[in-house]
Structure formats: C-alpha cells, structure tokens
Amino acid sequence: MENPRPPGEIDRYRRAFVGVAAMGLAATQFTTVRPAKAQGVSALNGATTERSTAASFALRQIDAGLLNVGYAEAGPPNGPVVILLHGWPYDIHSFVDVAPLLAMAGYRVLVPYSRGHGTTHFLASQTVRNGQQSVLAVDVIELMDALKIGVAIVAGYDWGARTACIIAALWPERCKALVSVSGYLIGSLAANRMPLPPKAELQWWYQYYFATERGRAGYEQYRRDFANLIWRIASPEWDFDDATFDRSASCLDNPDHVSIVVHNYRWRLGLAQGEPQYDGLEKRLAESPVITVPTITLEGDANGAPHPDSSSYAKKFPGRYAHRIITGGIGHNLPQEAPRAFAQAVIDVGKY
C-alpha cells in the first residue's frame, strides 16, 4: 500500500475539483492520480476533507433515454467507474467531499442529478413525470449507455440507495459492486399496502401529506422549508449551516421536481399508476430479488429517517457482503456527513 498524500495536497486537489473551474478542468487535473488498487484505509485516514459550503461541482449535460442529464465527473477517464446516486430532498452535493477522495484513488466518478432535480430535464414535454422505483434505475442504465460505460460500482443513499439496489438486482452484469446506505431498499406495492404500527407510520407523515392535493400544493409553495425540516429530522446531530443547505436546495427549483416527488410517494401507496412498459421490472422487484454482487451496506448511528434494521436484510446479499455502522452522530445523509467512511466503503467493495 502506498503512502497517503499529505493533507495539504488533498485540500488543494479538492478545491480544484469543486471550485468554479471550467468543465474540462476535471479531465485534465485528474489524469495523474495513483491507481485505485494502490489506495486503501490508510490513504483516507490520512486525508482531511473539511466540509465545503461555497464550493460546487462543474456540470456537464448529456441526452440519455428520456432525459437530458446533468452530472458531475471527476477522475481519470480510463479509471474504474463509480456512479454516486443522491436521495431526496438532497442533491449531488451530498458527494462534494466524497468525489475528490475517489478521484484521487484513481476512480472515474460520475454524480448525476436524478429526474426532477437540478439541471436534469425531460427531452419531451409530453413524457409522463413518472417517479416509480424502476424508472429511476432505468435512467441510470440509460446514462451508462449514453456514456458508453459497460460496468460500474454503484453507490447511494435514500432514493439513490434504492436505485443502486435495483440496478444491482436487475442488471448485475452492469454493476461491479454496490454500496447502499440503510441496506436493501427495494420496495413492493403489496408490502406497502400492509399497515405499520402507529409509531412507525408517524415517521412517514410526509408520504401521507403528499397523497393529498393539499400536500402537493403545500410542497409546491414551501419546498425549501419542507426540505430543511426533513434534513433536520433525518440527521438530528448534523449541524449544517445555511450555505450548505442553500447550495443543495437550488436543485428543488427544477420545474418537474414536485411532480416527480409526489408521484413517487403516491405510487408507493398504490394511489398513482405506473407506466405499463415498466410492469415487467416491477414484477421482478416485487419478488424481492437477492443481490449477488459484492456489497457493503452502511448505517449512521444517528439516522432519524425510517430505515430497516440490518438483521432484516442481511440475507438479501448472499455474495461477498459486509455491514458497517458509522459512528459520531451520523444521520441519514451519510456521504455528506461522513465522506471518508463512504469513500472507503466504495474503495473496499471494489476490491472484493
């Protein structure tokens, strides 16, 4: 194992990546990093990545399937690919400190905005604003095809973790390995119809809010206040500042955002229809397929959002598998709250 880069060099490298540089900067700045296999635990333990607030990603756009996808890219173009998938109500800046660590380890890092977020937009005005679970995974496969990527490590949290799990389950030939916060999150409409104990139902209050037209109108009007409240509930010990929140909250201004979010939660409850062309995928997902690719699941020790106990899903990963609890008051937005732990999981699972 090679010696880690000194902290000062890592800080300069991160600023070059996330600063307001031209789009081509990442491609030129990240071509001399060491191979991924040469980096390990000691490399990330030796790194210091302070939380950035003013810094942001330089974005690219590409047509992929039904969408024009906005995404950030870093690292050597010929490196092993990692796709980082964000959740709701968050955005790609959840990975603003993860991406440079992975790029320094030799990975080509892609961080796309999901449909209804940021600069990702539909190519046709008549396309159904569909938020069902399988569609979000199809979007990622379409992005991989557009970028001519055959296989990638897929990693995410919240909606992004569910999407990553679906890709690993339905397209294992495209998924080298998986990192999933809160484990196995593939949903079933039949299971969603079953009531939970009242205390558990209370945690899903916003799901029922979105089921009403009052809720849709309320989210449309107060989406930033709503997102800020979710951030604080889901990560009760994360002391994020206004600049950090505002940087991500701009993604909520996407004109399709409310439609995608409301459809997602209504579809989960069986209150909105999916599209027939995805029925086959949903049928396979309803069978709760196992995930055979190498996997590491993560959980923060202070996750305030609804999440399953790891014992309930461990058997869903019959291949090489590990579960890690990340301590220190880490909440739901784990990659942004504990970037080194998340990056380390990606590097480790890539060695399986």
Q: Taking the alpha carbons of 287, 293, 299, 304 in that order, is the dihedral positive or negative?
A: negative
Q: Is 67 left (phi over 0), alpha (psi -120 to 50) or beta?
A: beta
202 burial (CB, 10 Å; 0-12 / 13-18 / 19+) is: exposed
For residues 264 and 116, the answer to whether their CB atoms sit within 8 Å is no
Q: Residues of the chain with pLDDT > 70: what percent?
A: 85
- Strand spans (E) along 6-51: none
**pTM above the 0.75 mark?**
yes
Q: Helix, strand, or coil here: 36? A: helix
pLDDT tens-digit readout, 173-212: 999 999 999 999 999 888 888 999 999 999 999 999 999 9
Alpha carbon 109 to chain centroid, angstroms: 13
What pLDDT sits at residue 5?
Answer: 37
CA dist., res. 38 & res. 16, Å (int): 22
Strands 321-326, 295-300: pairing kind: parallel
pLDDT attached to residue 191 = 87
The answer to whether 99 and 84 have CB atoms below 8 angstroms apart is yes
Q: pLDDT by residue (tens digit) across 15-44?
A: 434 433 333 333 323 222 233 333 343 346
Q: How far are the Cα atoms of 15, 230, 286, 339, 342 from residue 244, in angstroms, in the given order?
A: 16, 15, 37, 15, 19
What pLDDT, on a 0 to 100 scale, did the predictor assign at position 55?
76
Task: Specify whether the CB–CB gap between 141 and 85 falls below 8 A.
Answer: no
From residue 126, alpha-carbon distances to 123, 130, 258 in Å are 9, 12, 16
Per-10-residue mean pLDDT for the chain, 352 residues long? 38 40 33 32 44 75 98 97 98 98 98 98 98 98 98 98 98 98 94 91 96 98 98 98 97 98 97 97 97 98 96 97 98 98 98 93
Provide the pLDDT for residue 75: 97
